[in-house]
Amino acid sequence: MQLQDILYSQGFGTRRICAGLIQQGRVQVYQDDPADSQGRCQIPVTVTQASTEVPAKRLRFKVCGDDWVYHERAYLMLHKPAAFECSHKPSTYPSVYTLLPSPLRMRPQKKAIQGVQAVGRLDQDTTGLLLLTDDGQWVHRLSSPRHHLPKVYEVSLKHPADDVQMDRLLTGVVLDDSPDPVRASACCAVSPCHLRLTLTQGKYHQVKRMVAAVGNRVNALHRSQIGGLRLPDTLAPGQWQWLGADDLAALNAIS
Protein backbone atom coordinates (compact mmCIF):
# COMPACT_ATOMS: atom_id res chain seq x y z
CA MET A 1 0.00 0.00 0.00
CA GLN A 2 1.41 3.41 -0.91
CA LEU A 3 2.40 5.53 2.08
CA GLN A 4 0.31 8.50 0.91
CA ASP A 5 -2.77 6.25 0.79
CA ILE A 6 -2.07 4.99 4.30
CA LEU A 7 -1.86 8.53 5.66
CA TYR A 8 -5.06 9.46 3.83
CA SER A 9 -6.91 6.46 5.28
CA GLN A 10 -5.79 7.43 8.78
CA GLY A 11 -7.13 10.98 8.53
CA PHE A 12 -4.07 13.11 7.84
CA GLY A 13 -5.77 15.08 5.06
CA THR A 14 -6.37 14.76 1.35
CA ARG A 15 -4.02 12.63 -0.72
CA ARG A 16 -2.31 15.80 -1.94
CA ILE A 17 -1.74 16.99 1.64
CA CYS A 18 -0.47 13.54 2.64
CA ALA A 19 1.90 13.46 -0.32
CA GLY A 20 3.19 16.89 0.68
CA LEU A 21 3.85 15.78 4.26
CA ILE A 22 5.91 12.87 2.95
CA GLN A 23 7.85 14.90 0.40
CA GLN A 24 8.69 17.50 3.09
CA GLY A 25 10.28 14.79 5.23
CA ARG A 26 7.67 14.99 7.97
CA VAL A 27 6.79 11.28 7.91
CA GLN A 28 8.88 8.53 9.42
CA VAL A 29 8.18 4.81 9.26
CA TYR A 30 9.40 2.40 11.92
CA GLN A 31 11.45 -0.41 10.42
CA ASP A 32 13.17 -3.38 12.00
CA ASP A 33 16.79 -2.78 12.88
CA PRO A 34 18.80 -5.34 10.88
CA ALA A 35 21.35 -5.43 13.70
CA ASP A 36 18.75 -7.07 15.93
CA SER A 37 18.55 -10.71 14.85
CA GLN A 38 15.21 -11.18 16.62
CA GLY A 39 13.57 -8.16 14.98
CA ARG A 40 12.62 -6.55 18.28
CA CYS A 41 14.24 -3.16 17.74
CA GLN A 42 12.58 -0.64 15.45
CA ILE A 43 14.01 2.65 14.31
CA PRO A 44 12.14 5.52 12.56
CA VAL A 45 13.24 6.05 8.97
CA THR A 46 12.26 9.18 7.04
CA VAL A 47 10.46 8.46 3.77
CA THR A 48 10.27 11.19 1.12
CA GLN A 49 8.59 9.35 -1.77
CA ALA A 50 4.78 9.46 -1.45
CA SER A 51 4.37 6.35 -3.63
CA THR A 52 6.64 4.21 -1.44
CA GLU A 53 5.02 0.83 -0.85
CA VAL A 54 4.86 -0.23 2.82
CA PRO A 55 2.90 -3.02 4.56
CA ALA A 56 -0.06 -1.43 6.35
CA LYS A 57 -0.67 -4.20 8.88
CA ARG A 58 0.79 -3.31 12.30
CA LEU A 59 2.57 -0.32 10.74
CA ARG A 60 3.97 2.25 13.18
CA PHE A 61 4.85 5.67 11.86
CA LYS A 62 5.41 9.27 12.87
CA VAL A 63 3.77 12.34 11.36
CA CYS A 64 5.28 15.68 12.39
CA GLY A 65 6.81 13.97 15.41
CA ASP A 66 3.62 12.26 16.65
CA ASP A 67 3.54 8.46 16.90
CA TRP A 68 0.70 6.56 15.21
CA VAL A 69 -0.25 2.95 14.60
CA TYR A 70 -2.19 1.94 11.49
CA HIS A 71 -5.80 0.86 12.15
CA GLU A 72 -7.92 -0.25 9.23
CA ARG A 73 -10.97 0.76 11.26
CA ALA A 74 -11.15 3.04 14.29
CA TYR A 75 -12.77 1.61 17.42
CA LEU A 76 -12.40 3.88 20.43
CA MET A 77 -13.67 4.46 23.93
CA LEU A 78 -13.86 7.91 25.47
CA HIS A 79 -14.50 8.92 29.05
CA LYS A 80 -16.99 11.69 28.34
CA PRO A 81 -16.86 14.55 30.83
CA ALA A 82 -19.78 16.78 31.73
CA ALA A 83 -20.51 19.96 29.75
CA PHE A 84 -19.77 18.41 26.35
CA GLU A 85 -22.26 17.65 23.57
CA CYS A 86 -22.16 14.49 21.44
CA SER A 87 -22.58 16.49 18.24
CA HIS A 88 -20.33 17.77 15.48
CA LYS A 89 -22.40 20.97 15.56
CA PRO A 90 -23.04 21.68 19.27
CA SER A 91 -25.54 24.34 20.28
CA THR A 92 -24.29 25.39 23.72
CA TYR A 93 -21.36 23.34 24.99
CA PRO A 94 -18.16 22.21 23.24
CA SER A 95 -18.31 19.17 20.99
CA VAL A 96 -17.06 15.92 22.46
CA TYR A 97 -15.15 15.42 19.20
CA THR A 98 -12.80 18.26 20.14
CA LEU A 99 -11.36 15.90 22.76
CA LEU A 100 -9.97 13.72 19.94
CA PRO A 101 -6.85 14.37 17.85
CA SER A 102 -7.41 15.81 14.39
CA PRO A 103 -6.71 12.60 12.40
CA LEU A 104 -9.58 10.79 14.15
CA ARG A 105 -11.90 13.65 13.21
CA MET A 106 -10.68 13.57 9.60
CA ARG A 107 -10.80 9.84 8.81
CA PRO A 108 -12.51 9.32 5.45
CA GLN A 109 -15.74 7.36 5.13
CA LYS A 110 -17.40 6.51 1.82
CA LYS A 111 -14.93 8.74 -0.06
CA ALA A 112 -15.71 11.76 2.14
CA ILE A 113 -14.03 13.12 5.26
CA GLN A 114 -16.44 12.40 8.09
CA GLY A 115 -14.29 11.22 10.99
CA VAL A 116 -15.34 8.86 13.74
CA GLN A 117 -18.93 8.94 14.98
CA ALA A 118 -20.36 8.28 18.44
CA VAL A 119 -22.32 5.07 18.95
CA GLY A 120 -25.40 6.68 20.46
CA ARG A 121 -25.22 9.80 22.57
CA LEU A 122 -24.91 10.95 26.15
CA ASP A 123 -26.58 14.13 27.40
CA GLN A 124 -24.29 17.10 27.95
CA ASP A 125 -24.45 16.64 31.73
CA THR A 126 -24.03 12.84 31.60
CA THR A 127 -20.54 11.41 31.98
CA GLY A 128 -18.98 8.04 31.28
CA LEU A 129 -18.32 5.47 28.59
CA LEU A 130 -18.82 6.60 25.00
CA LEU A 131 -17.89 4.45 22.00
CA LEU A 132 -16.73 5.97 18.71
CA THR A 133 -15.94 4.42 15.35
CA ASP A 134 -15.76 4.92 11.60
CA ASP A 135 -17.43 1.54 11.02
CA GLY A 136 -21.04 2.24 10.08
CA GLN A 137 -22.08 -1.41 10.27
CA TRP A 138 -20.69 -1.67 13.79
CA VAL A 139 -22.66 1.42 14.82
CA HIS A 140 -25.84 -0.12 13.44
CA ARG A 141 -25.21 -3.46 15.13
CA LEU A 142 -24.57 -1.93 18.56
CA SER A 143 -27.42 0.57 18.24
CA SER A 144 -30.09 -1.81 16.96
CA PRO A 145 -32.82 -2.32 19.59
CA ARG A 146 -33.25 -5.96 18.59
CA HIS A 147 -29.88 -6.82 20.11
CA HIS A 148 -30.86 -5.47 23.58
CA LEU A 149 -27.32 -4.36 24.35
CA PRO A 150 -27.24 -3.70 28.12
CA LYS A 151 -25.90 -0.38 29.38
CA VAL A 152 -25.13 0.21 33.05
CA TYR A 153 -25.65 3.62 34.66
CA GLU A 154 -24.58 4.96 38.03
CA VAL A 155 -27.46 7.19 39.17
CA SER A 156 -27.04 9.77 41.92
CA LEU A 157 -30.45 10.66 43.38
CA LYS A 158 -31.79 13.73 45.13
CA HIS A 159 -33.70 11.59 47.65
CA PRO A 160 -32.97 8.11 49.03
CA ALA A 161 -34.60 5.39 46.93
CA ASP A 162 -37.11 3.14 48.68
CA ASP A 163 -38.18 -0.39 47.80
CA VAL A 164 -41.35 0.82 46.08
CA GLN A 165 -39.39 3.05 43.71
CA MET A 166 -36.90 0.29 42.90
CA ASP A 167 -39.70 -2.22 42.28
CA ARG A 168 -41.41 0.19 39.88
CA LEU A 169 -38.18 0.74 37.96
CA LEU A 170 -37.94 -3.03 37.49
CA THR A 171 -41.60 -3.70 36.71
CA GLY A 172 -41.93 -0.71 34.37
CA VAL A 173 -43.13 2.86 34.16
CA VAL A 174 -45.09 4.54 31.39
CA LEU A 175 -43.42 7.38 29.50
CA ASP A 176 -45.31 9.79 27.27
CA ASP A 177 -43.54 8.60 24.09
CA SER A 178 -43.86 4.86 24.74
CA PRO A 179 -47.12 2.91 24.57
CA ASP A 180 -45.59 0.08 26.59
CA PRO A 181 -44.03 0.28 30.06
CA VAL A 182 -40.30 0.93 30.09
CA ARG A 183 -38.29 -1.00 32.65
CA ALA A 184 -34.78 -1.54 33.91
CA SER A 185 -33.42 -5.06 33.43
CA ALA A 186 -31.50 -4.72 36.71
CA CYS A 187 -31.56 -2.28 39.61
CA CYS A 188 -29.55 -2.31 42.81
CA ALA A 189 -28.89 0.21 45.55
CA VAL A 190 -25.20 0.98 45.98
CA SER A 191 -26.15 3.43 48.73
CA PRO A 192 -29.44 5.17 49.69
CA CYS A 193 -28.91 7.87 47.04
CA HIS A 194 -26.99 5.83 44.50
CA LEU A 195 -28.65 3.33 42.17
CA ARG A 196 -27.03 1.12 39.55
CA LEU A 197 -29.46 0.69 36.67
CA THR A 198 -29.10 -1.58 33.65
CA LEU A 199 -31.12 -0.68 30.54
CA THR A 200 -31.46 -2.41 27.20
CA GLN A 201 -33.33 0.47 25.55
CA GLY A 202 -32.18 3.92 24.56
CA LYS A 203 -35.02 6.42 24.71
CA TYR A 204 -34.53 10.17 25.05
CA HIS A 205 -33.47 11.09 28.63
CA GLN A 206 -34.69 7.64 29.64
CA VAL A 207 -33.02 7.29 33.04
CA LYS A 208 -34.00 10.79 34.15
CA ARG A 209 -37.60 10.31 33.04
CA MET A 210 -37.92 6.87 34.62
CA VAL A 211 -36.59 8.15 37.94
CA ALA A 212 -38.93 11.16 37.78
CA ALA A 213 -41.87 8.82 37.06
CA VAL A 214 -41.30 6.99 40.35
CA GLY A 215 -41.13 10.23 42.35
CA ASN A 216 -37.42 10.95 42.58
CA ARG A 217 -34.85 13.05 40.74
CA VAL A 218 -31.47 12.44 39.11
CA ASN A 219 -28.69 14.68 40.40
CA ALA A 220 -25.89 13.08 38.37
CA LEU A 221 -25.68 10.32 35.78
CA HIS A 222 -22.67 8.25 34.71
CA ARG A 223 -22.50 5.35 32.23
CA SER A 224 -20.04 2.79 33.53
CA GLN A 225 -20.51 -0.16 31.18
CA ILE A 226 -21.77 -1.17 27.72
CA GLY A 227 -22.28 -4.89 27.16
CA GLY A 228 -19.28 -6.62 28.70
CA LEU A 229 -17.06 -3.55 28.40
CA ARG A 230 -16.45 -1.48 31.53
CA LEU A 231 -14.98 2.00 31.58
CA PRO A 232 -11.45 1.57 32.99
CA ASP A 233 -10.70 3.37 36.24
CA THR A 234 -7.42 4.48 34.66
CA LEU A 235 -9.16 6.43 31.88
CA ALA A 236 -9.69 9.96 33.20
CA PRO A 237 -12.53 12.25 32.05
CA GLY A 238 -11.71 13.64 28.62
CA GLN A 239 -9.27 10.86 27.78
CA TRP A 240 -9.69 8.26 25.02
CA GLN A 241 -8.04 5.01 23.96
CA TRP A 242 -8.21 2.42 21.20
CA LEU A 243 -10.34 -0.63 21.87
CA GLY A 244 -8.27 -3.79 22.07
CA ALA A 245 -9.19 -7.27 20.87
CA ASP A 246 -10.59 -8.20 24.30
CA ASP A 247 -12.68 -5.02 24.41
CA LEU A 248 -14.18 -5.73 21.00
CA ALA A 249 -14.88 -9.33 21.98
CA ALA A 250 -16.72 -8.13 25.10
CA LEU A 251 -18.98 -6.00 22.90
CA ASN A 252 -19.40 -8.33 19.96
CA ALA A 253 -20.32 -11.27 22.20
CA ILE A 254 -23.45 -9.37 23.22
CA SER A 255 -24.32 -7.87 19.83
Which phi and psi (to 5°) does residue 234 adopt?
-80, -10
Strand order in the sheet with 60-63: 42-46, 27-32, 60-63, 66-69
201 φψ region: left (φ > 0), alpha (ψ -120 to 50), beta (else)? beta
Rounded Cα distance between 216 and 185, Å, is 19
Is residue 176 flagged as an active site residue?
no
Which phi and psi (to 5°) does residue 22 adopt?
-70, -45
Write down the catalytic residue from 5, 123, 125, 135: 123
In 3D space, the residue among 25, 32, 58, 16 whose CA is nearest the CA of residue 245 turns out to be: 58
98 φψ region: left (φ > 0), alpha (ψ -120 to 50), beta (else)? alpha
29 beta partners: 45, 61
**The residue type at 112:** A
Helix, strand or coil, per DSSP, at residue 189: strand
Catalytically active residues are 123
